[in-house]
C-alpha cells in the first residue's frame, strides 16, 4: 500500500462515520445513475450530483454510527440548501450493529423528493414526516427510474425527435 492508499484508508476507511457515509451516499447515487462522479469529490459544491438538467442534493443518515451507541440514532435530514432540482435522502436502515454493512445495498432506503415539495421554512425533516409525505422509501435499484421521472418530458432523450 502506498502512502496515499494508507492515508485514504485512515481518513475515510469507516463507512459508518457520518462524513464518510455522506460521501459514500453521493457516490452511490452517481453509480445508480451510471454517472462518472469525477476524479475528486468537491465537498462544498453547489449540488452533489448533476445529470443534465437534473441537479440533486444528497443527504444521508444511519441508525448505526461508527461510535458506541446505547440505541439507534434518531434520523433527521438537513434541508437548508435549496438550489437543486430534488433531494435524495439516503438512509442506511439496518438497526443491528452486528449486521450493519453500508456496502450491502439492500440495507439502504432512498427518497427522491423534488425541492419544490419541501416546506420552505423547514431546516430539516425527520423520518416520520418523510414517510408520511413520501412513503417507505425505495431501493437502490429503483433510484434511476425515480430520478429520471424528474426530467421535464420535453427533454427526455427517449422522447426527442431528430
pLDDT tens profile 57-98: 999 999 999 888 899 999 999 998 789 999 999 999 999 999
Strands 86-92 and 54-62, sheet pairing: parallel
Indicate whether 154 pLDDT > 50: no
| The predicted structure's pLDDT at residue 158 | 46
- pLDDT at position 1 is 53
For the chain, the distance separating the N- and C-terminal CA atoms, rounded to the nearest angstrom, is 51
Taking Cα atoms as reference points, which of 58, 71, 77 lies closest to residue 129?
Answer: 77
Cα 141 to Cα 12: distance, rounded to the nearest angstrom: 25
Please report the pLDDT score of residue 2 as a whole number: 67
pLDDT at 29 over 60: yes
As a whole number of angstroms, the distance between CA 75 and CA 125 comes to 9
pLDDT at residue 160 in the model:
38
What are the grid coordinates assigned to 1, written together?
500500500
Is the pLDDT at 123 greater than 80? The verdict is yes
Average pLDDT, the chain: 89
Q: Sorting pLDDT into bands at 50, 70 and 90, what band is 162?
A: very low
Confidence of residue 153 (pLDDT cuts 50, 70, 90): low
As a whole-number percent, the residues of the chain with pLDDT over 70 amount to 93
Greater pLDDT, 155 or 44? 44
Contact 124, 79 (CB under 8 A): yes
- pLDDT of 23 reads 93
* Region 118-144 average pLDDT: 95
CA angle at 86 for the pair 45 and 116, rounded to the nearest 5°: 120
pLDDT at 45 (0 to 100): 86
CB of 68 closer than 8 Å to CB of 94: no
pLDDT above 50 (res 156): no
Amino acid at each position: 500500500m502506498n502512502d496515499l492508499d494508507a492515508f485514504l484508508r485512515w481518513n475515510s476507511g469507516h463507512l459508518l462515520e457520518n462524513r464518510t457515509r455522506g460521501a459514500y451516499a453521493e457516490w452511490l447515487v452517481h453509480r445508480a445513475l451510471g454517472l462518472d462522479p469525477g476524479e475528486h469529490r468537491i465537498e462544498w459544491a453547489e449540488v452533489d450530483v448533476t445529470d443534465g438538467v437534473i441537479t440533486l442534493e444528497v443527504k444521508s443518515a444511519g441508525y448505526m454510527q461508527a461510535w458506541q451507541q446505547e440505541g439507534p440514532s434518531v434520523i433527521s435530514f438537513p434541508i437548508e440548501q435549496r438550489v437543486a432540482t430534488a433531494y435524495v435522502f439516503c438512509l442506511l436502515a439496518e438497526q443491528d450493529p452486528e449486521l450493519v454493512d453500508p456496502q450491502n445495498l439492500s440495507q439502504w432506503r432512498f427518497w427522491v423528493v423534488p425541492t419544490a415539495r419541501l416546506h420552505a421554512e423547514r431546516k430539516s425533516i425527520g423520518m416520520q414526516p418523510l414517510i408520511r409525505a413520501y412513503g417507505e422509501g425505495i431501493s437502490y435499484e429503483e433510484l434511476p427510474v425515480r430520478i429520471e421521472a424528474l426530467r421535464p418530458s420535453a427533454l427526455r432523450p427517449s422522447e426527442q425527435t431528430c
